[in-house]
Homo-oligomer: A and B are copies of this chain.
Amino acid sequence: MVEEALTAERILEAAEEVLRRFGPAKATVVDVARALGVSHGSVYRHFPSKTALRDAVAERWLARVSKPLAEVAAEEGPAPERLRRWFDLLIALKRSKARDEPELFATYQNLVADARDVVRTHVDTLVSQVARILTDGVEKGEFSIEDPLASAWAVFNATVRFHKPIHASEWSDPGIDAAFEGVWSLILGGLGAREAPAKARKKPSKK
């Protein structure tokens, strides 16, 4: 049987599995190497440090969050509803990660606590997606705001309680959904949300 070559990709998969099973506190580089049947020195051929490996695992994991969100951001149709769907999905994704992959979620929480670049990049990605929806809405006359990127940041900041991992323990409060509704109507008002005026409404795009 031919041994499969040791690649960064294979290491990442093994590392994710090890993190999922043991959690960030117990997972070691030796565990990852053992899962691959190599010495731990080999892992350092592909990643300069354990931190870099952890960041790379998180990056993949975060890409699996932002990709479906990007799809929602790119949808057609009224921006206000799309914005809401986008946040509903963001919140649902975060909650399900916290519930179904607690160890990986804990890894991500450590990352946030360390204020790693990988997290900043992820947040920037998410905020640009929101900005895209807002820009779209402004063009269609569905939002009345001056600076979509600034507003995107504002919306993101205002909803921090509902998607930032540091608040994860509050997500099981019975009133959490009602609290979000309250913040949401504040936001819609603040964005000057309304139905697209007939003459401003764009024809279905077919580019």
Contacts and interface: CB of A to CB of B under 8 A. Distances in A.
A94 interface: no
Contacts of A192: 189
Interface string A177-192: 0010011011111111
A179 B153 CA distance: 7
A157 B161 contact: yes
How many copies the complex holds: the figure is 2
B190 A155 contact: no
A161 B186 CA distance: 16
Most buried by B among A151, A158, A159, A160: A158
Contacts of A155: 186
A183 B154 contact: yes
B166 A183 contact: no
Given A157-B161, A157-B179, A160-B160, A188 B190 contact: yes
A154 B179 contact: yes
A195 to B, nearest CB: 17
Q: Which 6 A-B pairs have the closest CB atoms?
A: A186-B190, A154-B182, A189-B190, A158-B158, A190-B190, A160-B161
Interface of A: 150-151, 153-155, 157-161, 166-167, 179, 182-183, 185-192
6 contacts: A151-B186, A154-B183, A154-B186, A189-B190, A189-B191, A190-B190
